[in-house]
A and B are shown apart, each in its own frame.
Chain A
Amino acid sequence: DIVMTQSPDSLAVSLGERATINCKSSQSVLYSSNNKNYLAWFQQKPGQSPKLLIYWASTRESGVPDRFSGSGSGTDFTLTIRSLQAEDVAVYYCQQYYTVPLTFGGGTKVEIK
């Protein structure tokens, strides 16, 4: 199984400041035949279902604000929230869809400082 490890477990960021979340996979999720990283990021606000933010490691889902960006390749990935807004308080999960079992990181809780 591919193990997804996120860091930190939680972080507190001031409004308007940058938040950075890391995700590391235990093996590469880069598929060589199409050069795509099978890595997604989800946002889960309190009491809500998860929402897809980023896929292919860096492609923003339709309707997602451009302050959210994803980067990385192979085994190391980052989700960046450029200028944190109050509505961004949530738990963020990375997920690999390279192979079964599909696996998620443990989550990173983002709060306002």
Chain B
Amino acid sequence: EVQLLEAGGGLVQPGGSLRLSCAASGFTFSNFTMSWVRQAPGKGLEWVSSIRGSSGTTYYSDSVRGRFVISRDNSRNTLSLQMNSLRAEDTALYYCAKSHQNELDTISYWGLIDYWGQGALVTVSS
């Protein structure tokens, strides 16, 4: 059974930093792209960042590029998101998410998400 367990959320002041982590289990972690998707209170879903399984290639939304850094440790089945220079508009529930595509597949569709964690709440406020 796929499990994604986020940790590290909390209250932080504007301009501060926070690091989220996601412990993954139930699948071969290194074979799958992993992503962070956020949801502001009462709002819709917003993609934040993704990292490929084997190459480690990273992708970011314009709203976080230069402030957030996504990383992964395939030996520990862990995904991380280092969030710096946080703003009030970064307040959201941050979901760790797994790609449907096994990178051994011939077709590339890494952006399709099939499993989501329960989320880690990040509140940016003074």
User: Which residues of A line the B interface, CB within 8 A?
Assistant: 34, 36, 38, 40, 42, 44, 49-52, 55, 61, 93, 95-107
Known: A55-B112, A97-B109, A97-B112. A102 touches B47 (CB 8 A): yes
The residues of B with any CB-CB pair to A shorter than 8 Å are: 35, 44-47, 50, 59, 61-62, 95, 100, 107, 109-119
Tally A-B pairs: CB < 8 A. 60
Shortest Cβ gap from B44 to chain A (Å): 5
**What residue of chain B has the Cβ atom nearest to residue A38's Cβ?**
B109
Task: Kindly identify which residue among B62, B100, B111, B118 contacts A52, using a CB–CB cutoff of 8 Å.
Answer: B100
Q: Which residues of B contact A100 (CB under 8 A)?
A: 50, 59, 111
Q: How far is the CB of A68 from chain B (nearest CB, A)?
A: 15
Complex Cα distance, B100 from A3, in Å, reads 22
Q: List 14 A-B contacts (CB under 8 A).
A: A38-B112, A40-B112, A49-B116, A49-B118, A50-B116, A93-B44, A95-B113, A97-B111, A97-B113, A101-B47, A101-B59, A104-B44, A107-B44, A107-B45
Contact A104 B45 (CB under 8 A): yes
* Across-interface contacts of A101 in B (CB, < 8 A): 47, 59, 61-62
